[in-house]
Amino acid sequence: MTFRLISILFFLSLGITSAYAGNVWSAVRYPLTGPPQVIGSYAAGCIAGAVALPLVGEGYQVMRVSRNRYYGHPQLTRFVERLGQWTAAQGSRLLIGDLGQPRGGPAPTGHRSHQSGLDVDVWFLQQPRDQVLSRTDVERIDMPSMVRMTEGTLSPRWSPHYRDALKQAALSPEVDRIFVNAIIKRALCESETDRRWLNKVRPWWGHDAHFHVRLACPPDSAQCMSQKPVPPGDGCAPDLANWVRDIMRAARSPKPYRKPEPPSADRLPTACSLVLESPTAQR
Ligand SMILES: [Zn+2]
């Protein structure tokens, strides 16, 4: 079989899988044009007027392009572009994971959130500034873990550059919070002298190969539902120790430690059905 034929079959099988999952949101290929408007919450929401993040920009490159999840509120795409420019100035290039689908909504795989155009995954792994990956590598390259889960420590792969990018993201005023693996958060708690920026860095499961940046509701979106604000303080104690203990215990257990999360069962706001069904001019 030729490579071409194999790839066609591969993409056909992807189509069958998502049709089977019955996810109408992932079938919509284009944003709804018009002014940006976030509706609902991060885990049950949608977006009108989303824009596509250019796939390659100064200091960043979008990964897994075939998933078509590189859309977001213009504030989100500007955030990524700015973080990229900053990273380029440090001599590196960020690898960008999922933003959201063209009109947001639940995705058939991967996340509960990322529904309202305000979430973006940033790989810890970085490339040299001038290295742009091929279309094949963008789909194939592994997203390596930065922790030794069973030992509760950072992996030798960890680099101060990754900490720098995380800190730069946390210092951006439009960022509401950032999710990282609790082991990474604890390592930062131990190494940072100024821990104020750690307030926005929240411990979670997974997130050992990427960090997940979540923007606050933008002022243009009256129907955007905010999350409870993060509690004050650096979040380094005492709950964090429990997080790390649970993660290490789960990693040492022979049983799979965590079932994949089912898609959010929260109902989308009714305004989202309009966003889903409105026709839009195809580009
Ligand atoms: Zn994420």
Using one digit for the tens of pLDDT, what is the confidence trace for 27-69? Answer: 999 999 999 999 999 999 999 999 999 999 999 999 999 999 9
Centre of ligand 1 to C-alpha 5, Å, is: 32
* Predicted pLDDT at 155: 97
In the reported structure, the alpha carbon of residue 114 is separated from the centroid of ligand 1 by a whole-number distance in angstroms of 7
In this structure, which amino acid lies at residue 52? A
283 falls within a domain: no
Query: Which of 77, 81, 110 minimizes the C-alpha distance to 93?
Result: 81
Q: How large is the average pLDDT for residues 102-109?
A: 93
Instruction: In whole angstroms, give the CA distance from residue 273 to residue 269.
Output: 8
Span 140-175, pLDDT tens digits: 999 999 999 999 999 999 999 999 999 999 999 999
Domain containing 268 — which CATH number? 3.30.1380.10
Taking the C-alpha atoms of residue 172 and residue 43, their distance in angstroms, rounded to an integer, is 22
Report CA(119)–ligand 1 centroid distance (Å): 7
Q: Is residue 229 part of a domain?
A: yes
Domain of residue 214: give its range.
Answer: 31-276
Pairing of strands 147-148, 153-154: antiparallel
Q: Is residue 141 part of a domain?
A: yes
pLDDT at 9: 43
Domain count, the chain: 1
Residue 130 in domain:
yes
List, in sequence order, the alpha helices (H) in the chain: 3-21, 24-27, 74-89, 135-140, 160-170, 182-191, 239-252, 271-277
Report if residue 73 sits inside a domain. yes
Tell me, what amino acid is at 67?
R
In a domain, 48, yes or no: yes
